[in-house]
Amino acid sequence: MEKLTHISNDLKEWIVNTLKTGANPEMIANAMIKKGFDPIFAYKVLLKLVNNQPVQTSGGNMPLYKYETPEIGKKGTILSTSDRDIKVLMRIEKPFTLYLENVLSEQECDELIELSKNRLKPSRVVDNVTGEIKAAPGRTSSGMYFRLEETPLIGRIERRIEELTNIPIENGEGLQVLHYKEGEEYKPHFDYFPESKIQESTGGQRIATVLIYLNDVPAGGETIFPKAGVSVTPKKGSAVYFHYGNSEGQVDRLSLHSSIPVAEGEKWVSTKWLRQSEILDRT
Ligand code: PD2
Ligand code: ZN
């Protein structure tokens, strides 16, 4: 069935009023999608109506997240590593997010895709309530993980991320490569774990994510932060850094994010999840 890509003034007004009551934009988007709207259209309408303003997110008695500028945010707009200069194209304070250009060269992107493409498996998700790793309809991509420093290229990327973030290589999970075909997506989620699943031996909580785009996507496939009203267009070699864990162990709920369906072509990304402390147990 053809998806809806037009919106009535009445529905527009209802969305604006519902947002004012503090409703989560992604819940409204999901309701629109359920009603038959095209997902990309639904998110675009919402982003327009949210008008890039942070929206109400604190629910119940949750203490407010205390923002601390991470090390990568104290270095200015050109981030120099031992083998390249990386430019900050955009900075958002809440959730703390940087859009970085030139994190990988075109050749490194191609090599990473080549190294991973015969090892892809259907992606899994961490259940937000139980912390279990399971297959889920909300994540239709395929993916794979490299071992730490598995190849010279992987080691070079990991060292670059360490120099950029000042977060030690040992705190990083294995570099992940994800592949989305047309129509595939990763529904809104948090990268951090539910408190009950945090373990000292595996480095504690996740505190930050580096998401590197390995190709230009002809249409769709944007990374969306619906609570902040932000949409990031994939660009080969560029990366998004977002930070959601502070020194008090709090996590930032504004970091909710998703990858909207690829509308045309395919999407390749590489994700590095970074923990509070060294991951001692990598079994
Ligand atoms: O591929 C993306 O844009 C994306 C979006 C949300 C990846 C992840 N999350 C992730 O790997 O955590
Ligand atoms: Zn994510």
Chain segment 166-214, per-residue pLDDT in tens = 999 999 999 999 999 999 999 999 999 989 889 999 999 999 999 999 9
pTM above 0.85, yes or no: no
Residue 271 Cβ inside 6 Å of ligand 1? The answer reads yes
**For residue 52, what pLDDT is reported?**
47
Which CATH code for domain 71-275? Answer: 2.60.120.620
DSSP 205: S
**Mean predicted lDDT score pLDDT of the chain:** 89
197 to each of 71, 85, 125, 259, how far by Cα in Å?
26, 37, 14, 24
How confident is residue 283, by pLDDT bands cut at 50, 70 and 90?
Answer: confident
Q: How far apart are CA 46 and CA 33, in angstroms?
A: 12
Average pLDDT, integer, range 234-248: 98
Name the residue ranges covered by the structural domains of the chain: 1-62, 71-275
Nearest CA to ligand 1 atom 10: 271
Residue 142 Cβ inside 6 Å of ligand 1? The answer reads no
Ligand 1 atom showing the smallest separation from residue 257 Cα: 6
DSSP 278: -
**For residue 3, what pLDDT is reported?**
76
> Angle of helix 25-34 relative to helix 9-20, nearest 10 degrees?
150
Q: How far apart are CA 160 and CA 169, in angstroms?
A: 9
**For residue 58, what pLDDT is reported?**
43
Spatial contact of 46 and 25, defined as CB atoms under 8 Å apart: yes
**For residue 198, what pLDDT is reported?**
94
How confident is residue 8, by pLDDT bands cut at 50, 70 and 90?
Answer: confident
Distance in Å, CA 271 to ligand 1 centroid: 7
Summarised one tens digit per residue, pLDDT across range 47-101 is 777 654 445 444 456 789 999 999 999 999 999 999 999 999 999 999 999 999 9
